[in-house]
């Protein structure tokens, strides 16, 4: 006799939810062979049952009552692709109370309430899988938790927001202005409903919090991440980066040194020779460094209906297999340490600085004196252009402590010879 099907309930039928339905329908017969049991959609929660939908779904599957899924004893796996924080948290906790495994794409939720959700999953003895929450279609969570789990990681750096990578690519390759590039990213559907979350670095902060927690086995929440977005990057920064041999990228960075974690999101100058510099348009990539594997990079589409559905369906298959073999909850929370987060002032980096200063003798010497007094060593200075009797200078530092650089900049900002500090961008991924 055929084994009974694994029954799933889907919370949400938007971009990702409809992709999940499409992939399960299209590849269902192969998936059945892979799992050994059919995967059957029992119910789908939506807000508006009468809404016209691009993906065809039998009307009887749609419901506006979450309990049709959460309280239905027949349903084995709840797939949360609805978004929101409070409501999704509430529904997922209820799903665990009712002994269901959960698959979610919700980075906002995992980055904030991961600990609580993992505890609930463990108590229920069920899976909490969230591959789609970071970098959409790119497999990175399971590789870190399983394939690469024999490693000690030293560093993770990722282009984990497609919108900002698209904007920076357009600004550098097509000389497009920031606002035009953002509008195009919105039109193409890469940006969040509120694009501030992309351009201010918040979306990337959620994703790097999730990756850092897994890689360093210590819970990092969204609130622990130091964040700067890309709104201050202008066409001069892009041009000077190019001239100096760098690409400008928004990176999520997580490093461990001396038992402390350094977790941040900000724009960087990265050498053009670095693998991440070549990642363009809306593509994402995550570069990891482990003590056994060495350097490895994961590349692909970080968002969109089908790439994200690819990750969600992969998780559904894993959860279904785990249930079939009687081992749900096989890979639970791996945050068994509690590591200190390093304040941003304590990090060390090289910096690119763009300043507008008076164009007369002695100015450079004064500025160099301030940097010297704060222990900030300058690697190079170039005068770039004249703007209304002021000279724009570009400096690149050697590796210095951020606190020292900030002390120096506070003094420099107050000098009468300085018009403004145009931008300060960290230089990452170069050893020279």
Scan residues 70-89 and list those touching ligand NAP (CB under 6 A). Answer: 81-84, 87
User: Residue 379: how many CA atoms within 13 Å on its side-chain side?
Assistant: 14
158 binds ligand HSE (CB under 6 A): no
Q: Which CB contacts under 8 angstroms, 24+ apart, belong to 403-406?
A: 403/345, 403/346, 404/374, 404/375, 404/376, 405/351, 405/374, 405/376, 406/345
| Phi, psi of 27, rounded to the nearest 5 degrees | -110, 15
Q: Is 192 in the site for ligand HSE (CB under 6 A)?
A: yes
Interacting residues with ligand NAP between 17 and 46 (CB under 6 A): 17, 45-46
Quick check: 91 binds ligand HSE (CB under 6 A)?
no
Q: Is 183 helix (H, G, I), strand (E, B) or coil?
A: helix
Torsion of CA 62, 65, 68, 70, to 10 degrees: 120
Binding to ligand NAP by residue 13, rule CB under 6 A?
Answer: yes
* Residue 283 interacts with ligand HSE (CB under 6 A): yes or no: no
Burial class (CB in 10 A: 0-12, 13-18, 19+), 344: middle
Q: Which does 46 bind (CB under 5 to 8 A by kind): ligand HSE, ligand NAP, none?
A: ligand NAP
Using an 8 Å Cβ cutoff, are 34 and 2 in contact? Answer: no
CB closer to ligand HSE out of 75 and 279: 279
Residue of the chain from 153, 178, 190, 283 that contacts ligand HSE (CB under 6 A): 190
CB of 155 to ligand HSE, least distance (A): 21
Binding to ligand HSE by residue 162, rule CB under 6 A? Answer: yes
Using Cβ positions, the residue closest to ligand NAP within the complex turns out to be: 14
Pairing label, strands 418-427, 348-358: antiparallel
Report how far residue 87's alpha carbon sits from residue 66's, in angstroms, rounded to the nearest whole number. Answer: 10
Tell me: does residue 304 bind ligand NAP (CB under 6 A).
Answer: yes
Q: What is the set of active-site residues?
A: 207
Residue numbers at the binding site for ligand HSE (CB under 6 A): 136, 161-163, 190-192, 198, 203, 302-303
Residue numbers at the binding site for ligand NAP (CB under 6 A): 12-17, 45-48, 51, 81-84, 87, 105-107, 132, 136, 303-304, 308
């Amino acid at each position: 006799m055929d084994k009974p099907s694994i029954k799933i309930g889907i919370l949400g039928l938007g971009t990702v939810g409809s992709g999940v339905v499409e992939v399960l329908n299209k590849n269902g017969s192969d998936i059945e062979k892979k799992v050994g049991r059919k995967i059957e959609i029992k119910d789908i929660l939506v807000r508006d049952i009468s809404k016209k939908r691009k993906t065809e779904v039998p009307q009887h599957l749609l419901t506006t009552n979450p309990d049709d899924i959460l309280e239905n004893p027949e349903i084995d796996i709840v797939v949360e692709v609805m978004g929101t924080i409070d409501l999704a948290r509430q529904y997922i906790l209820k799903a665990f109370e009712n002994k269901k495994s959960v698959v979610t794409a919700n980075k906002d939720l995992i980055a904030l309430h991961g600990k609580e959700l993992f505890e609930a999953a463990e108590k229920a003895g069920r899976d909490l899988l969230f591959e789609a929450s970071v970098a959409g279609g790119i497999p990175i969570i399971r590789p870190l938790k399983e394939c690469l789990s024999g490693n000690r990681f030293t560093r993770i750096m990722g282009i984990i927001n497609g919108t900002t990578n698209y904007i920076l690519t357009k600004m550098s390759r097509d000389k497009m202005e920031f606002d035009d590039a953002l509008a195009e990213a919105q039109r193409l559907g890469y940006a969040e409903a509120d694009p501030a979350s992309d351009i201010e670095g918040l979306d990337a902060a959620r994703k790097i919090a999730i990756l850092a927690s897994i890689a360093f086995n210590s819970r990092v929440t969204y609130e622990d991440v130091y964040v700067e977005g890309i709104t201050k990057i202008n066409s001069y920064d892009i041009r000077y980066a190019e001239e100096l041999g760098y690409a400008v990228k928004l990176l999520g960075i997580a490093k461990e040194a001396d038992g402390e974690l350094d977790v941040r999101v900000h724009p960087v100058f990265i050498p053009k020779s670095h693998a991440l510099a070549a990642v363009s348009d809306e593509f994402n990539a995550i570069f990891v460094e482990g003590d056994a594997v060495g350097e490895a990079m994961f590349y692909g589409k970080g968002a969109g209906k089908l790439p994200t559905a690819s990750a969600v369906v992969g998780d559904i298959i894993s959860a279904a297999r785990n249930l079939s073999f009687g081992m749900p909850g096989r890979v639970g929370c791996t945050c068994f340490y509690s590591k200190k987060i390093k304040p941003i002032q304590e990090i060390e980096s090289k910096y690119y600085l763009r300043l507008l200063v008076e164009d007369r003798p002695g100015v450079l010497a004064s500025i160099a004196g301030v940097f010297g007094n704060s222990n900030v060593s300058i690697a190079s200075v170039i005068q770039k252009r004249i703007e209304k009797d002021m000279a724009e200078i570009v400096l690149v530092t050697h590796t210095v402590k951020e606190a020292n650089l900030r002390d120096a900049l506070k003094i420099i900002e107050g000098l009468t010879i300085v018009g403004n500090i145009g931008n300060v961008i960290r230089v990452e991924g170069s050893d020279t």
